[in-house]
Amino acid sequence: MSNDSSSCGGHGHSHGHEHTHPHSEGGCCGGHGHEHGHDHDHAHEGGCCGHDHGGHGQTKPLFDGPIFKNDFERREFLKTAIPGAIAGAALTIPIAGYMVLPSIEGNKHSWVSVGPVEKFVLGETVLVELTNPDDFSWAGVTSKVAAWVRYVAEGEFIAFSVNCSHLGCPVRWLPNAKLFMCPCHGGVYSNDGHVVAGPPPKSLNRYEVRIEGGQVQLKTQAIFLA
Amino acid sequence: MLKKTQKAVIGTLEWLEDRTGLWAMFGPVLTHLAPRDAKWWYVYGSATLMAFMIQVATGVALMFSYIPSGGQAYDSLKYIADVAPWGHLIRGMHYFGASAMILLIGIHMGQVFFHGSYKFPREMNWVTGIALLAFTIGLGFTGQTLRWDSNAVWSIVVAAEQAARVPFIGHWLAHFILAGDNINGATLGRFFTLHVFVLPALAIAGIGLHMVLVMRHGIAEMPDEAHPVIPETYREEYHARLEKTGVPFWLMAWRDSVFSLVVVLAVVFAAIYFNPPPVELPPDPSIIETDPIPDFYLRWYLAVLALAQSDMEDYIILGAPALIGILLFAIPFLSSSGHRAPSKRPWAIVSLLTAMLVVGAFWIEAEKGNWTPNFHPKPLTPELIGATEGPIWHGAQLFQEKGCINCHSLANNGGHRGPDLTYVGDRLHKDNLTIRINMGGVNMPAYAGSLTGDDLRDLISFLETRKKKQPALEGEAAKEEPAKKS
Ligand code: FES
């Protein structure tokens, strides 16, 4: 398209001119100040003068031979293209690396206390919050996640990720029905996290749990991905 | 004196034109010949551009107050929405402008397809248009996430989970979307940059190319059965007809101007009289009282995904968008010549109507959202239960406690995930009910292990009373009847 703007619609050249001949010479529309060499004619065909003569010149192919007619042209092209390509790479590599590396490196995970053992009632499943200590100082509440923790027996806890194994929505615990239910597409899990209905393909993911100094601790982890 | 001034002005303009060539470059936009019949059918493209300009302008304005930080974006948005003078208005205009843009693109596409204007030589006009559609949808989705509330973070989780299903690079892609292995302080920056820099830049470049192509190939005439598109002769005939009957574009443009004004006024009025979607709970992933749904114009697609649940799911989640995209790009190459007149393209019109019906049907399904359990059903009233004590009453309590009501409704109380049980007593007998409750189904848990024999019996006696024809009429009689039983 570059040829359109450079060669068309010369000054004082209104659209209504009589210039309808399909095979006009290389210099389209006779715009003045048109100095392109004839070697480059091929780049000026179809599409000269865009709008009002868009299709004219169709009979002549855009490229009627090799793009580079000789070694000189090829060398000239490479002289331009190679520095350009190197400059592009020199810019792209650091930028792409900066954008992509953090998501490849992975995050650090650590044990986080969610409360003293006494706070939990035997047999009950409760929602706890944990804050990822590895997150940025500006993360605010975004660094929090929730988990469903059940006090199963003396010294034994189970912690479920709240993320549905289907598409990650947060499942809710129905204490009377003893079911986890997902709001998004109605996936249902039993109290031990097995799928009992709906689309989820797998059981609820679990966190590692330990008791340390009277505190129940969960180890932060990556979000579960199908 | 006057003449002198006139001369000076003209002299200045001529100098400016000589040094810049701006008129030579852009004059043809105004003066090129447009088909005489390009009237009200043709205003949707320019109106889409107007909607885009509203978005750029209001978006820049919003940026004066928005803070793209994981910890602060929510507060700054709350400030814009509730406190900043005219903030509510500008946020509303940005939202309704986005809605208008999506709707107008839909209408514009529909018109171009209906009139076969995408045919030779305008194939690339269509292709660049589809790219613009994709950028616009991207802007819509990323814009919703900048609200940075609970809906936004959970939408991103769902998006990451979908991306994770891409073969081989899925997990990496998901982590790239999340900017880590879970939602964190860096997540918002991605969506912010896409929404504010990358996608607008692509859209502006795409709009430029789209318009260059409009100039290059000229505005399509209204379709005419007498002039099917024959690539060999089309251009010459088109130009010949234009030379004879065409009108300079600027003499036609008042319609675009008037319709764009209507769009602007509609957006402003909508922003004044209606509310954009609320800023919901904070972006705290430990708040789980949420059901992430996109804004209305993307909601139909949510229904596609939700209703796709099956073994085919992975293929649909990834394949449906790919297929829709490929099909849209392919349209002008599937039929690039021949008739443009709708009357001669029955199958094209059937496809258009089908597409509209399918999208419409998914839209309605999405509004109903029946695949979502109801987590806050109203408690069943004694009138509805038809008892205040005894096994039927107890069965009704179990129906609520055990989670039945979250998915099944009784007289419009409860969820719609599973079948409506208002009249289940007419359909199913004791044995069938027992089997279904004990065994469950694809979308229903088996309750065999979690209901005692007595509970099961009571639940079934409650369900058996769900009949259309109560033995007695409504009123006191209906109340007496269960009393007798208990
Ligand atoms: S995300 Fe839970 S059922 Fe789909």
| Partner-chain residue, chosen from B121, B157, B181, that has the shortest CB–CB distance to A222 | B181
Instruction: Report the pLDDT value the prediction gives residue A108, as an integer from 0 to 100.
Output: 85
From the list B370, B477, B375, B482, the residue with the least C-alpha distance to B425 is: B482
Interval A61-71: pLDDT, tens: 777 777 788 88
Choosing from B309, B335, B368, the residue where a domain stops is B368
Same-domain pairing of B132 and B232: yes
Q: Is residue A95 part of a domain?
A: no
Q: Is the pLDDT of residue A10 over 50?
A: no
Q: Is residue B424 part of a domain?
A: yes
Give me the domain span that covers residue B411. 382-474
Same-domain pairing of B51 and B152: yes
Number of domains in chain B: 2
Same-domain pairing of B224 and B93: yes
Instruction: Report the pLDDT value the prediction gives residue A51, as an integer from 0 to 100.
Output: 42
Q: Measure the CA–CA gap between B124 and B127, rounded to whole angstroms.
A: 5
Q: Where are the alpha helices (DSSP H) in A66-174?
A: 71-105
Task: Name the residue with higher pLDDT: A2 or B27.
Answer: B27
Residue A155 DSSP label: T
Q: Is residue B428 part of a domain?
A: yes
Residue of B128, B173, B182, B241 for testing the chain A interface, max A β-carbons within 10 Å: B182
Interval A123-152: pLDDT, tens: 999 999 999 888 889 999 999 999 999 999
Same-domain pairing of A170 and A116: yes
Same-domain pairing of B290 and B352: yes
CATH code, domain with B64? 1.20.810.10
Residues of chain B below pLDDT 70: 309-310, 469-486
Q: Is residue A206 part of a domain?
A: yes
Instruction: Report the pLDDT value the prediction gives residue B405, as an integer from 0 to 100.
Output: 92
Residue A21 touches chain B, beta carbons under 8 Å: no
Q: Is residue A209 part of a domain?
A: yes
Task: Name the residue with higher pLDDT: A54 or B63.
Answer: B63
Give me the domain span that covers residue A63. 3-69
Find the closest chain A residue to B68 by CA distance.
A138
Q: Measure the CA–CA gap between A28 and A10, rounded to whole angstroms.
A: 10
Q: Is residue A88 part of a domain?
A: no
Same-domain pairing of B388 and B332: no
Q: Is residue A77 part of a domain?
A: no
Interval A100-125: pLDDT, tens: 887 777 778 999 999 999 999 999 99
Place of tokens 């005439």: B221
Q: Measure the CA–CA gap between A156 and A209, rounded to whole angstroms.
A: 9
What is the pLDDT confidence band of residue A31, given thresholds at 50, 70 and 90? very low
Q: What is the mean pLDDT of residues A72-96?
A: 94
Residue A59 touches chain B, beta carbons under 8 Å: no
What is the pLDDT confidence band of residue A207, given thresholds at 50, 70 and 90? very high
Q: Is the pLDDT of residue A192 over 70?
A: yes
What is the pLDDT confidence band of residue A46, given thresholds at 50, 70 and 90? very low
Same-domain pairing of A21 and A115: no
Same-domain pairing of B255 and B332: yes
Would you say B447 and B440 are in contact if contact means Cβ atoms under 8 Å apart?
A: yes
Q: Is residue B149 part of a domain?
A: yes
Residue A103 touches chain B, beta carbons under 8 Å: yes
Write phi, then psi, for A174 (nearest 5 degrees).
-100, 100
Q: Do B179 and A163 touch (CB under 8 A)?
A: no
Place of tokens 């249902």: A188
Same-domain pairing of B123 and B235: yes
Instruction: Report the pLDDT value the prediction gives residue B309, as an integer from 0 to 100.
Output: 65
Choosing from A69, A100, A124, the residue where a domain stops is A69
Q: Is residue A184 part of a domain?
A: yes
Same-domain pairing of B389 and B357: no
Mean pLDDT of chain B: 90
Q: Is A184 in the pocket of ligand 1 (CB under 6 A)?
A: yes
pTM: 0.85
Instruction: Report the pLDDT value the prediction gives residue B33, as an integer from 0 to 100.
Output: 93
Size of interface A-B (CB pairs under 8 A): 240
Q: Is residue B430 part of a domain?
A: yes
Q: Measure the CA–CA gap between B444 and A111, rounded to whole angstroms.
A: 36
Task: Name the residue with higher pLDDT: A200 or B477.
Answer: A200
Would you say B31 and A51 are in contact if contact means Cβ atoms under 8 Å apart?
A: no
Same-domain pairing of B363 and B390: no
User: 8-67 in B: which are within 8 Å (CB) of A?
Assistant: 17-18, 24-25, 27-28, 31-33
This model of the complex carries an ipTM of: 0.84
Q: Is residue B23 part of a domain?
A: no
Same-domain pairing of B270 and B325: yes
Q: Is residue B268 part of a domain?
A: yes
Q: Is the pLDDT of residue A8 over 50?
A: no
Instruction: Report the pLDDT value the prediction gives residue A43, as an integer from 0 to 100.
Output: 41
What is the pLDDT confidence band of residue A60, given thresholds at 50, 70 and 90? low
CATH code, domain with B447? 1.10.760.10
Same-domain pairing of B82 and B119: yes
Place of tokens 């601790």: A217
Q: Measure the CA–CA gap between B85 and B110, rounded to whole angstroms.
A: 39
The full DSSP string for B60-128 is HHHHTT----TTTHHHHHHIIIIISTTHHHHHHHHHHHHHHHHHHHHHHHHHHHHTTTTSTT-HHHHHH
Q: Measure the CA–CA gap between B425 and B243, rounded to whole angstroms.
A: 76
Same-domain pairing of A41 and A132: no
